[in-house]
């Protein structure tokens, strides 16, 4: 017994070193889950309809977020140093944390809270607009392009419409993810989705795709193609269509200009 423990102790640093050296996460998403922004204690209220990126842009303009963040999100000198157009930063943000930060403000009360200014759907649309500054969502053309690849590689488990109800689904435990499930997917960073599609989820029936190919469709599942799949998965729970007619904007006309 003692021997085994000491062996473990000698091997542990080696094991740890070999993990941390890898660029690819190989299913170890916990490190990324922790990398999120300050989240308040307040409740998350999920939207009543799919959040819309163009609606969110209207909210961004109405609330004058650009007065500190700039039209391009890169930040106005002396007002904000954060670069909202930085993909590496944005890929590590969960929609739920961004929602809490924007709606209730930050924990030190420095960031303006908008819970009194917008409806819940507008708040979620704003979250997805902010995300789109760094990662533009899949266009309808891009969605169509990936549709066929999704159809032959993913739909057998996830279902054609992403409800997690493909023909193989009832044989799997846990069942395949339902891409329309706001609660699940707003709690994921884009990096985690990339990692799960690239490296699979061990023991849980989600296969790994990085480095494989779909010969019939002439598609290689490269790093870049996995990102296309992430954007495709996101299109099930955010939309690039306007959902609110501009006359029925619910926000109360105030803004945060400084």
CA pair distance 64, 66, nearest whole angstrom: 5
Which residues 112-171 are close enough to bind ligand HEC by CB under 6 A?
112, 114, 126, 130, 153-154, 156-158, 168
Question: Shortest Cβ distance from residue 42 to ligand HEC (Å)?
Answer: 16
Q: Is 242 in the site for ligand HEC (CB under 6 A)?
A: no
CA pair distance 224, 232, nearest whole angstrom: 13
The site for ligand HEC, by CB under 6 A, has a size of: 46
Which residues 51-70 are close enough to bind ligand HEC by CB under 6 A?
60, 63, 65, 67-69
Residue from 32, 103, 206, 219 that binds ligand HEC (CB under 6 A)? 206
CA pair distance 181, 186, nearest whole angstrom: 8
Cβ-based nearer residue to ligand HEC, 7 or 38: 38
Q: What are the backbone angles phi and psi of residue 2, rounded to the nearest 5°?
A: -55, -40
Residue from 44, 204, 249, 251 that binds ligand HEC (CB under 6 A)? 204
Q: How far is CA 4 from CA 14, 15, 149, in A?
A: 16, 15, 48
Residue 52 in contact with residue 239, Cβ under 8 Å? Answer: yes
Residues in Cβ contact with 254 at an 8 Å cutoff, skipping those fewer than 6 apart: 63, 117
Residues in Cβ contact with 147 at an 8 Å cutoff, skipping those fewer than 6 apart: none
- Piece of the chain touching ligand HEC by CB under 6 A; list 4-12, 39-47, 204-212, 234-242: 204-212
Q: How many CA atoms lie within 13 A of 242 on its CB side?
A: 9
Residue from 10, 21, 77, 81 that binds ligand HEC (CB under 6 A)? 81
- Piece of the chain touching ligand HEC by CB under 6 A; list 14-22, 41-49, 75-83, 243-251: 75-83
Q: 14 exposed, middle or buried (CB, 10 Å; 0-12, 13-18, 19+)?
A: exposed
Cβ-based nearer residue to ligand HEC, 69 or 235: 69
Binding site for ligand HEC (CB under 6 A): 37, 60, 63, 65, 67-69, 79-82, 84, 98, 101-102, 111-112, 114, 126, 130, 153-154, 156-158, 168, 172, 174, 176-177, 184, 188, 192-193, 196-197, 201, 204-207, 209, 229, 233, 256, 258
């Amino acid at each position: 017994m003692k021997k085994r423990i000491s062996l473990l102790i000698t091997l542990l640093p080696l094991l740890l070193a070999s993990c941390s050296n890898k660029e690819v996460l190989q299913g170890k998403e916990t490190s990324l889950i922790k990398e999120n922004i300050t989240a308040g204690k307040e409740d998350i209220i999920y939207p009543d309809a799919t959040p819309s990126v163009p609606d969110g842009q209207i909210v961004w303009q109405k609330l004058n977020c650009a007065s500190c963040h700039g039209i391009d999100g890169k930040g106005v000198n002396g007002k904000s140093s954060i670069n909202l157009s930085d993909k590496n930063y944005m890929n590590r943000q969960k929609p739920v944390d961004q929602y809490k930060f924007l709606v209730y403000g930050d924990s030190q009360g420095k960031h303006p809270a908008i819970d009194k200014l917008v409806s819940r759907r507008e708040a979620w649309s704003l979250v997805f607009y902010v995300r789109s500054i760094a990662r533009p969502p899949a266009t309808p053309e891009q969605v169509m392009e990936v549709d066929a690849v999704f159809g032959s590689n993913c739909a057998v488990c996830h279902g054609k419409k992403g409800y997690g109800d493909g023909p193989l689904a009832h044989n799997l435990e846990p069942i395949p993810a339902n891409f329309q499930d706001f609660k699940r997917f707003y709690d994921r960073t884009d990096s985690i989705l990339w990692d799960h599609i690239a490296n699979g989820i061990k023991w849980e029936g989600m296969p790994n795709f990085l480095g494989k190919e779909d010969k019939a469709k002439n598609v290689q599942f490269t790093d870049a193609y996995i990102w296309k799949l992430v954007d495709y998965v996101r299109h099930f729970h955010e939309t690039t269509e306007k959902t609110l007619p501009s006359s029925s904007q619910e926000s109360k006309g105030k803004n945060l200009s400084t």
